[in-house]
Each structure stands twice: as structure tokens, then as C-alpha cells.
Amino acid sequence: MEQQVASIPEVASVIRRLAGELSPVSRELSRSEAERIVEHVLQCSRSELYGNARKQVTPEQHRRIRSIARHRLSGTPLAYALGSAYFYNGEISVTPEVLIPRPETEVLIEVVLTRERESECLFLDMGCGSGNITAALLCERRDWRAVASDISIEALGVAALNCADRVCMVCADRLSALKASNAFDFVVSNPPYVSEAEMDTLESSVADFEPRQALWGGVDGLDFYRCLAGNAARVLKPNGRLYCEIGATQDDAVRRILGHGGWTDILVHNDLANRPRVVTAQTGT
């Protein structure tokens, strides 16, 4: 019996061994990814993880840790191996049918929350993917309501898991299912914006695992901005607003597209690395 108990691993040793195993795929992130996997399985925070470093991992927990590790070692991105990712104010579900949320997109959330001061509003999240943007905004504004649209029915299934009530899901190609209604206070979107040339330069962890339709924005990466510039105003109230994430080199092109579409008050907001990340605009009068 003593020998059996001694063979049960402790949290600290599981993390240490796992970090070493993950090193070939995770490189300098191997330790943090090992911690993240163990946190996920033990359902604890980082501080709780190390506060219980001598705690023994149960056989079932160890089996789940090993299963996730095998997925990660095959090259599967950690978020897909876990089935979840952190974004803004919480953890959301993700599957290979949706793009893994990036920290840079949190700038889009901050810009919207800073500029939209009304206690009640209705907004459209075009190309919602996992629903991370809608979920974050509704969590911060308890009286807001949303319509979340995406061309992928599988993506909408994931978004439904992440978004609470106050959301209507619409399966549509861009704005095709929304007639002129002047219903929305603002439109928010993190559209596909990778160009054809850039698609060939993506890391294999992105190109081989994340959905192409959530990445590719046309030959020059600007197709969705043209759609928004020409069509978003018809679903917005007078003086309605538009919030879009953009690629780091697309600010001038997107500003031109919106300007030609009659939008006003066009502004670019940088991310924490001082790169253009969000464009805001208002319907013309």
C-alpha cells in the first residue's frame, strides 16, 4: 500500500515533467502551458495551483492531463486541446470551428466600452465566431442586447455556449440576412483580414488548425471592410457607430474605404504594442 501511495504524483512534479515534455512544441512557453493544462484539469487558479503544490493528482485527473498533453504534442494549439481560452473577462469555449481569440482583440472591447456610454443599446456583432466579443460586451453592460451573426452554423453553436441571454443568433453571409432596419446603435466586427499573400506566411499552428474562412479576407484582405463600408449604415440608427479590428498595416486602406463609403469621424486606435488595431467610424449625415 505504501508503494502505491508513493507513486501518486504531486501537482509540482506533474507540472515539472509536463513542461519538459511540451518543450519541443511549446518552446519557451512550455512551463506556462503545463501550468495552464493542470489549472484547467484541477479547475483552480494560478495561486491555488502553487498553494497546493504538494497535493496529489488523482488518477482520473492525471489521465485527463495526459490526454490534453498528447493533443498538444501533435501540434494542436493549446486552446483547442483544452477546449477553452481566456478572453478579456473570463474563459470561453473554443473548437476548431472557430478562431482562437487573440489578446489584441481586447483593445476592440475597450474602445467600445469607452465610447458607448448608453445604459441600454442593441448592437450587431458581424462574424461573431466564438462569440467572444459579444460575451465580453454583454458581461460588462448588463442592459445591452445583441445580434450575433456568422456564416458558420458550427461557429454559432460555439457562440451560443459562450453568450448568455440577450443574444439573437443569425446564420448569414456578412449582412445578407439583415434588411435595412436602422435598428442597431453600433456594429462591431473582427472580420477576416488576412490577405492571399499573408495566408502563405502564417505559422503552421494557425494555417493547419484554425478555420480558413475566419482568416482570409480576400486577395488584399479588405473584402469585409468594403462590405461594411457599403452596407453597415443601412442597419444602423442615425449617427450609428462602427467598430472594426484591422491588421497592423491596414489602417490607411480601411480609412480610405470608409471615407469613400460616406462614413465620418474615422479614427484609428493602437494596441499596447502601438500598432494600429481598431478603426471607429460614424454614419454620415
Are 215 and 263 members of one domain? Answer: yes
Please say if the pLDDT value at position 44 is more than 50.
yes
Please say if the pLDDT value at position 9 is more than 90.
no
Residue 179, domain member (yes or no) = yes
Are 25 and 104 members of one domain? Answer: no
Are 65 and 205 members of one domain? Answer: no
Q: What is the CATH number of the domain that holds 41?
A: 1.10.8.10
Are 214 and 148 members of one domain? Answer: yes
Q: What is the CATH number of the domain that holds 225?
A: 3.40.50.150
Residue 92, domain member (yes or no) = no
Binned at pLDDT 50, 70 and 90, residue 1 comes out as very low
What is the number of H-type helices and E-type strands within the chain? 13, 9
CA-nearest of 128, 88, 132 to 110 is 88
DSSP state letter for 87: E
Are 71 and 103 members of one domain? Answer: no
Range of the domain at 268: 97-282
CA 106 to CA 130: how far, in whole Å? 14
- Using DSSP's 3-state secondary structure scheme, residue 7 falls into coil
For 84-98, the pLDDT digits (tens) are 999 998 899 999 999
- Lowest model confidence (mean pLDDT) among 132-146, 166-180, 203-217: 166-180
* Residue 26, C-beta contacts closer than 8 angstroms, at least 6 positions apart: 33, 72, 78
Residue 91, domain member (yes or no) = no
Are 180 and 278 members of one domain? Answer: yes
Which of 75, 109, 127 represents a domain boundary (last residue)? 75
Are 116 and 255 members of one domain? Answer: yes
For 238-271, the pLDDT digits (tens) are 999 999 999 999 999 999 999 999 999 999 999 9
DSSP state letter for 260: H
* Residue 154, C-beta contacts closer than 8 angstroms, at least 6 positions apart: 95, 97, 98
* Contact yes or no for 167/217 (Cβ under 8 A): no
What's the rounded mean pLDDT across residues 202-215? 93
